[in-house]
Amino acid sequence: MVKIDILTLFPEAFSALNTSILKRAQEKDIIQINLINIRDFSKNKHKKCDDTPFSGGAGMLMTVQPIYDAIMSVKQDNSVIIIPTPTGEVFNSKLSKSLSNYEHLIFVCGHYEGIDERVYEIFNPIQVSIGDYVLTGGEIPCMAIVDSLCRFIPGVLSKDSLNDESFSNDTLEYPQYTKPKNFMGYEVPEVLFSGNHAEIEKWKKMKSLEKTLKNRPDLIKKDTF
């Protein structure tokens, strides 16, 4: 079982992780997701977890003490600490897959202007950005990262579900259709009913390349053709 501890000031934000596929994975004990409220570890008499930055500027920073104690309450020898931050390595399928190999992941969600730098200095976490934009907190990035990496954990998805997925072969997935065959004059491509598996595979590959060239030409490697 992969254990995922999520440290946050806003545990109520995480209900999405307890639905659908991830809910079933938790029920089957393939993964365990625990939400830990950083505020419970504050030694401040008002349970305060943020303060003004010494460098001045707008906003508040999350203080080091409650985060330090929250991490230490769950950290084991095999723990890997991950902090979502716009200043981190940009998340992708490869990083997602590699994170899915760990037995214990601890996520620390920043909020406000972010986190006192000493959390990074003390724990040397993996820092992950979900893209070149800034969100109000680490909760949504954390959910995106957890959802994505859990798909790679054996047993979470049905067998073969990861085959042909976007990014698995440095291309995007081909278009897919289901019933009905005709919707308001929009027809499913005839080749998909041909029963000719070689032709269908050829069509899928071509459509996948077309889509990748149009939407994400940066993914195409020189030796793809």
Residues of the shown chain interacting with ligand SAM in the complex, contacts defined by CB under 6 A: 84-87, 109-111, 113-115, 129-131, 133-138, 141
Residue among 115 and 172 whose Cβ is closer to ligand SAM:
115
Please give the C-alpha separations between residue 8 and each of 41, 60, 81, in angstroms, as whole numbers.
11, 16, 13
Please report how many Cα atoms fall inside a 13 Å half-sphere around the Cα of residue 60, on the Cβ side: 10
**Measured at CB, which residue is nearest to ligand SAM?**
110
Please give the C-alpha separations between residue 7 and each of 42, 83, 105, 154, in angstroms, as whole numbers.
13, 10, 11, 25
| Closest by Cα among 113, 109, 127 to 55 | 113
Residue among 85 and 171 whose Cβ is closer to ligand SAM:
85
Residue among 11 and 114 whose Cβ is closer to ligand SAM:
114
160: Cβ–Cβ under 8 A, 6 or more apart, which residues? none
| Least distance in angstroms from the C-beta of 85 to ligand SAM | 5
Residue among 31 and 109 whose Cβ is closer to ligand SAM:
109
Residue among 120 and 203 whose Cβ is closer to ligand SAM:
120
**How far is 149 from 6, CA to CA, in rounded Å?**
14
Type of residue found at 219: L
Q: Evaluate whether 96 touches 90 at the Cβ level (below 8 Å).
A: no
- Quick check: helix, strand or coil at residue 62? strand
**How far is 26 from 8, CA to CA, in rounded Å?**
20
| Least distance in angstroms from the C-beta of 46 to ligand SAM | 22
| Least distance in angstroms from the C-beta of 90 to ligand SAM | 9
| Least distance in angstroms from the C-beta of 205 to ligand SAM | 33
Residue among 89 and 199 whose Cβ is closer to ligand SAM:
89
| Least distance in angstroms from the C-beta of 129 to ligand SAM | 4
Q: What are phi and psi of 24, to 5 degrees?
A: -65, -40
| Least distance in angstroms from the C-beta of 78 to ligand SAM | 24
